[in-house]
């Protein structure tokens, strides 16, 4: 998922450099949403790992 966020971020930068503001804005928004989902999934994973305790 992080790979898709980075892909859309790069797409947004390229589109902005070429003057396609609508496409750049959409790609940047998608990248932000995917990055937030990734960070949320990472936080949940870390919390669940810490709560599980040491392996037996």
Task: Identify whether 54 is part of a domain.
Answer: no
Residue 53 pLDDT exceeds 80: no
Question: Tell me, what's the pLDDT at 1?
Answer: 67
| Residue 16 placed within a domain | yes
**CA gap 8, 34 in Å, rounded:** 9
- Convert the pLDDT of each residue in 1-37 to its tens digit: 678 888 888 888 888 888 887 888 888 888 889 889 9
pTM of the entire structure? Answer: 0.64
- Predicted pLDDT at 54: 73
Within a domain: 55: no
Number of domains observed in the structure of the chain: 1
Sign of the CA dihedral 26, 31, 32, 38?
positive
Q: For residue 32, what are the domain limits?
A: 2-49
């Amino acid at each position: 998922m992080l790979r898709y966020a980075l892909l859309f971020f790069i797409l947004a930068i390229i589109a902005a450099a070429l003057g396609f503001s609508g496409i750049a804005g959409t790609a940047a928004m998608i990248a932000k949403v995917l990055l937030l989902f990734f960070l949320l999934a990472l936080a949940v994973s870390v919390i669940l790992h810490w709560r599980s305790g040491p392996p037996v």
